[in-house]
Amino acid sequence: TYLPLCTCSCARSSSSTLSRTYTQVHFFNPVQIMKLVEVARTEFTSPEVFEKAYQWVHHIGKVPVKCNDTPGFIVNRLLVPSMAQAMLMCDRNDASVHDIDISMKLGAGHPMGPLHLADYVGLDTCYYILKGWTEKYPDEPSFVVPQCLKEKVDQGDLGRKTGKGFYHWDGDKRGDPV
């Protein structure tokens, strides 16, 4: 059976009959390894379409989770502001890059610290997500663009992809903090 899926904002733009046939399905990279898939309903998505999408994700061997249409869905809505808070700690000189990352790795059980992850994802990606969220949701206090992030992006230090961000990089091998 045909299942229309949409991972863009087009389904949010109209209450037309067509928009009732769309839902948002967010896979994580690398898709072949990551099990989680966020299935998000817009205000217009019909319950039947949403349930079909949810069951389809389960059928293909992934673990679906349900959420409403919110910036970043679940994972990135929690993750990106967390990375921003780590950057704000750098802005305030509360702790070093190394100490922030090792604290979250050993104290919270994360596989890598938030600044390591930001470098890995790409500081430009983090910047444009946060910039877009702050423009669209100016009253949301968890959406901020840290000064150190803006400066690094302005300087072209985008993390792993350019060899320098919060850390020095040699390809995919992370080096010492900058």
Catalytically active residues are: 26
What's the CA gap between 114 and 117, in Å, rounded? 5
What's the CA gap between 124 and 150, in Å, rounded? 9
What's the CA gap between 44 and 90, in Å, rounded? 41
**Two tokens at 131?**
């910039």
What's the CA gap between 77 and 15, in Å, rounded? 25
24: β partners? 40
Cis check for the bond before 177: say yes or no (omega within 30 of 0): no
